[in-house]
Amino acid sequence: MEFLKEVPKEVWCATVDLINKLLYPVTATTVGVGKLIEHKFSTLNEIQKNNRQKNFRRSFRKNIQCKDIQLQ
Burial 25-41 (b: 16+ CB within 10 A, else e): eeeeeeeeeeeeeeeee
Residues of the chain with pLDDT below 50 are: 71-72
Predicted local distance difference test score (pLDDT) of residue 69: 60
52 found inside a domain: yes
Q: Name the residue range of residue 37's domain.
A: 7-71
Predicted local distance difference test score (pLDDT) of residue 72: 47
- CB distance 41 to 49 below 8 Å: yes
Predicted local distance difference test score (pLDDT) of residue 66: 72
CB atoms within 10 A of CB 49: 13
63 found inside a domain: yes
Predicted local distance difference test score (pLDDT) of residue 47: 86
1 found inside a domain: no
User: What's the domain count of the chain?
Assistant: 1
Predicted local distance difference test score (pLDDT) of residue 3: 79
